[in-house]
Structure formats: C-alpha cells, structure tokens
Amino acid sequence: MITLYYDLLFALSLALMIAYVFMWHKHLDIHITLVFVLVPVINLGHCLFSRAESLEAALMATKLTYITGCYLSPIIMFSVFGLCHIILPRWLRAAILGAGSAIFLCALGMGRNTLIYKSVSFQPVDGVPTLIKEYGPVHTAYYALIFCCFLLSIGAMIYSYVRKKQVSRKLIYLLFLPVAISMACFFIGRRLIREIELAPSAYVVAMAVYLVIVHRMCMYDITDTAIESLVQTGDTGLVSFDFKLNYLASNGTAKAVFPELLELTVDRPALGSALIRDTMLTWLKDFRQDESKSQVLYERNGRFYMIQAGYLLDDYRKRGYQLFITDDTADRQYINLLSNFNTELKSEVADKTAHIVEMHDKLILGMATMVESRDNSTGGHIRRTSEGVRLLTARIRSDGAFGLTDEFCKNLIKAAPMHDLGKIAVDDAVLRKPGRFTPEEFEKMKAHAAEGARIVREILTGVEDDEFRQIAENVAHYHHERWDGSGYPERLKGEEIPIEARIMAIADVYDALVSKRVYKESMSFEQAHAIIMDGMGRHFDEQLKPYYLAAKPDLEAYYVSLESQAG
C-alpha cells in the first residue's frame, strides 16, 4: 500500500509535468520550469526507497530526495521573488545555491562519511524500509537552508501584498498555498505519520497550484498579447480587464494618458477611481452589450484619443477585455479643417491645399502605423522599409538605370509606408499569431496584398496625382510577387512585376530578416545578405543585384544607427 502511494504521487507528478509542457511559453520564469522538473525526480527517489531491500539501495534513493532542500526549496523561493517582482541580489542567489550544492555533495557521500549521517543502518519495520540513523552536522545545515528559504519566501509575499499594487493578490494567495503546505508536511507531517512521507504529496499539490499560476500569468503578462516594445513604449496605450472588470495590466503609454491607472490594484475591481469607473468601465459595459460600440472618441487635456475596445485573447480564447488608446488629435484637426475648408477656400486656397496634402499624408501614415500596431512585429517596420527603399532608389537613380525619374523615386519613397495597408482587413487571430501559419491561415494573410491595393486606390483616387496613386497601388498589390512567378497574389513573373514592387520586395524582406520579431530573433547582416543573394533571380530581380550590393553598406549603417539609438 505504501509503495502504491509513492507510485501514484510519482505518476501524478509526471502527468502535471506533461501538462506544463503543453502550457509552456518563453515568457515563463525558468524557476517555474525547474519546479516541474525537480518534483518528479524527488518523487522517484521516494518510489525507489519504498522498494529498497538493502542499505545501498535505500541510501541511493535517499540521495535523490535530498534534492528537496538543496535545490527545490531555493528554486521555489526564487520563483516567488520573480512572480512578486522583487529582485534578489545575485550574491544572495549564488550563496543559497552554493550552500545547497555543498550540502548535496555531502549527501552524495552519505554512508561513506559522517557529515550527513554519523551512523546509519537499514532494516524493515512492519514491512516498511527504514533507515536507522544518527544525524551529522551537515543535516542541521540542510534543515536550516530549507527554513531560511521558507522565511524569505513568506517575507517576499507579505511585502508584495502590502507594498506592491501591481502584483495580483490572487497570485500571492496561490503562492502561499504550496509553500505553507510543503513546510507543514516536511517538518510536521513526518512526526504525525511515521510510516509515510507527506512531503511528496505536498510537492504534487505545489505543481498543481503552479499550473493555475501559469494559467493566470497569461492574463497578467500583457506582453503575451502584443509586441513587447509596442506595449512598453509604443504610441498605443493598452489596458486589460478580466470579464468581471477587474483590472489586470496596462502599459506606460496608457498610464501617461490615464495616471489614475497607477492607483489601481491588480486583480481588483477598478472602482477606486471615479474617472476610470465613468470612462473605461462604462466603455467596456457598452461594448459587452453591443460589440458594434467598440470605438469611442475621448477628449482630455486638449487632446483627442481614439479608444478601441476588444477582447483579450490567449491562444484564440477570449480571456477578458482590452482597450487600445491612440492619440487621434491630428486626425481630429484634419476633420475640423475639412468642415471649415469651404468658407476659407477663397482667401487661403494655396496654403490650405498644401496643408491638406500634408495632413492627408499624415493620415495615410497614421493608418499604416495603426495597421503595424496590430501586426506581429516589433514596430517601426514602415519607417525602416521606407528608408531601405530610399537607399536602393538612390543607387539606381545615380546610375540612370530603368529610366527612373526623380519624381518617380520621390513617389515610391512616399508610397512605401502603404505597402501593408491591406493587413487592416486580416483577422487579429491570424495577423498576431506568434509562429508559423497553417496553410489556411497563410491564404487569409495573402489576401492583404489585393486588399491593400483596393484600399490605396479608394483613398488616393481624386486626391493624389495618377502617377503616385498607381505606384502606391502597385507597391501594395505586388510586393510579394517573385521573379520566378512563385509569389502572390497574381503569380506575376519577371518584368510583369512593376519595378516599384520589385524594389519594395528587397527592402521589405531585408527588414524582416534583420529585425527582431515576437516569434524570432534578428539575423546578422551576413545571414540576411546570404539569403538576399540566394534569392536573386528567383525571389528578386537579378538586375537589381548591383544596386543592392552598392546600397548594402548604407543599409547596414542605417540599422546599426537604429540599434545605437535603441541602446
């Protein structure tokens, strides 16, 4: 029966570890992962001990169980500090792990030295394998390390509960549960029930609680729902609530617009601020009753903000609500300008016309930026690709190739930010997927090229000159076509592809390669160059090869300057 007890706990720990593997993602604390690795090993030690028939077998199994105090207790403590957003000094982390490692090395020599056990013998008691031992000095240090980790963990949770509003109270309660149960079972349980160890069952409970914590972390960690750099420092504010309208998270941009968010407590109703109650909660309630009421124009401190309500998604599951906040002041000014334009036309036609063109360009750029804010990139793609197009066209123009005029190059650079406008029609679940697309999802994504051409045509017809409109439309429509005819959406081949789209393709792919994305790290310039060169004659027009090579140093210098600015 005792053997069955340990076998069941070992099986449960393995099952929980497998469940964690399916829930794992890269943003999870490494210490949580280590908990799910160490507990099955410790429970395996108890299984082996329950079957031991000799002193050597019992000692071997006992050595595995010493991982509990030497490593599991410190790892759980480190995870508590991490989840409570408290930085533990490196020297203290090193000291604790060093002490645990020293004790574990002593434990590996038990039976051959007297540091852990001064004396030890083996004999079954009522059919239960039992070690008759006299503890040595290092065993006392072993207990002291466990108790130290427990006290530090409790202290961190109490401090976070009292001082850190941005740490969920539910998370603190969940963290306290496994720590308290484990300590009670380890120090008290063995005195109440001598035949079995209660600690392994406490570790299984701890694993189950950590699974709940991991599940909720997807809601508290706002970086899982948007590009990290956009979330933290971008132009779009983000605020998240659960379905009960409890506050979950917000980024710095949102806090700058609504400083009242700083006073809210994570995982608590956002009722403490009258402003938040009368604005955000009211908007979300309207959205919940009628999803067509997803947009609100809000004025504060002389500026206008477009508020977009939507669902907080986790692997396509709706987990709560999210508000997107964008500064719409420029667009409001543009709309006001249009409404008053007729009365001012006679006296200011020249100045106002120039101003309208400027505002129109900003509006288009704003639309492109808005689309980019939905995309699964790290931000700045439209700005970088525009600069890439400028560097390439400068080299082409200086050589007089392809008969490009200065006006053509100017229009192409101006049109470059519009190449991905069609992504506004792509569903968020596809557009923001952090990984490879399924064939069905890729087909949906490919539709953005033709959709972008349609949008550009409708926006620019009658506003911009025909040459610029055609260039912008071609860039949006054909920048994913390939020289060998394997691209999309029309599978154009060779010079059937407009020259503006061929130039755009190189700048677009180069930026995708050397820029960091949510689902990949940036490539080195050498790797990106090798891929571009390999694509010449297949993906790209080989006639553009010399101009790409000429612009390569300029491209690399530009991206290095961006890294310096970011640093």
* Strand-pair category, 128-135 with 117-125: antiparallel
Model pLDDT for residues 417-456, shown as the tens digit of each residue: 888 888 888 888 787 777 778 888 888 888 999 998 998 8
pLDDT of 343 above 80: no
In this prediction, residue 422 carries a pLDDT of 87
Residue 448 has, within 13 A of its CA and on its CB side, a CA count of 24
When pLDDT is averaged across residues 550-564 and rounded to a whole number, the result is: 91
Average pLDDT over residues 127-155: 89
Q: What is the pLDDT of residue 192?
A: 54
Higher pLDDT, 535 or 126: 535
**In the block, residue with structure tokens 């160490």:** 38
Coil/strand/helix, residue 180: helix
Average pLDDT value for residue range 349-364 = 60
What was the pLDDT predicted at 99?
Answer: 94
The distance of Cα 205 from the centroid of its chain, to the nearest Å, equals 28
pLDDT number for residue 378: 44
Q: What is the mean pLDDT of residues 194-211?
A: 83
Q: In the chain, what are the domain boundaries?
A: 2-220, 223-327, 375-566
Phi/psi zone of residue 537: left (φ > 0), alpha (ψ -120 to 50 degrees), beta? left
Residue 316 Rama label (left phi>0; alpha psi -120 to 50; beta): left
Question: Does 167 or 218 have the greater pLDDT score?
Answer: 167
**Tokens describing residue 151:** 């006290």
Length of the chain: 567
pLDDT, position 558:
92
CATH number of the 223-327 domain? 3.30.450.20
Can you tell me the mean pLDDT for 223-241?
63
Question: Residue 355 — pLDDT band, cuts 50, 70, 90?
Answer: low
Q: How confident is the model at residue 503 (pLDDT cuts 50, 70, 90)?
A: very high
**477 closest CA partner among 464, 490, 462, 493:** 490
Please tell me the distance from the alpha carbon of residue 190 to that of residue 5, in angstroms, as a whole number. 15
Position 60 scores a pLDDT of 92
Residue appearing with tokens 């106002």: 352
Q: Kindly list the distances between the CA atom of residue 188 and the CA atoms of 182, 184, 288, 534, in Å, as whole numbers in the listed order.
A: 10, 5, 50, 67
21 compared with 362, residue with greater pLDDT: 21
**Neighbouring-strand partners of residue 246:** 269
Q: How would residue 338 be classed by pLDDT, with cut points 50, 70 and 90?
A: low
| Chain mean pLDDT for the chain | 84
CA distance 397 to 389: 12
CATH of 375-566, one of 1.10.287.70, 3.40.140.10, 1.10.150.20, 1.10.3210.10: 1.10.3210.10
Q: What is the pLDDT of residues 317-333, one digit of tens each?
A: 788 999 999 988 887 77
User: Is 495 a residue whose pLDDT tops 90?
Assistant: yes
Contact 153, 76 (CB under 8 A): yes
CB atoms near residue 39 (< 10 Å): 28
Q: Is 226 helix (H, G, I), strand (E, B) or coil?
A: coil
pLDDT, residue 529, reads 94
**Range of 68-82, 214-228, 444-458, 542-556 with top mean pLDDT:** 542-556
Terminal Cα distance for the chain, rounded: 61
Q: How confident is the model at residue 363 (pLDDT cuts 50, 70, 90)?
A: low
Q: Model confidence over 151-173: pLDDT tens digits? A: 999 999 999 988 888 788 888 88
- Identify the pLDDT of residue 271: 77
DSSP annotation of 292 reads T
Residue given tokens 């053997």 in the structure block? 3
Choices 1.20.1440, 2.30.29, 1.20.1070, 2.40.350: CATH for 2-220: 1.20.1070
CA distance 461 to 265: 50
* Backbone dihedral angles phi then psi of residue 309, each to the nearest 5 degrees: -95, 145
Question: DSSP states of 336-377 as a string?
Answer: HHHHHHHHHHHHHHHHHHHHHHHHHHHHHHHHHHHHHHHSSB
User: pLDDT-derived band of residue 68, with 50, 70 and 90 as boundaries?
Assistant: confident
Q: Which helix H or strand E contains 499, and what residues bound it?
A: helix 499-514
Question: pLDDT tens digits for 380-416?
Answer: 788 889 999 999 999 999 888 898 999 999 999 988 9
CB-hemisphere CA count at 13 Å for 465?
A: 7
Q: Which two tokens stand for residue 58?
A: 């019992």
Token couple for 418: 């519009």
- pLDDT tens per residue across span 452-476: 899 888 888 876 678 988 999 999 9
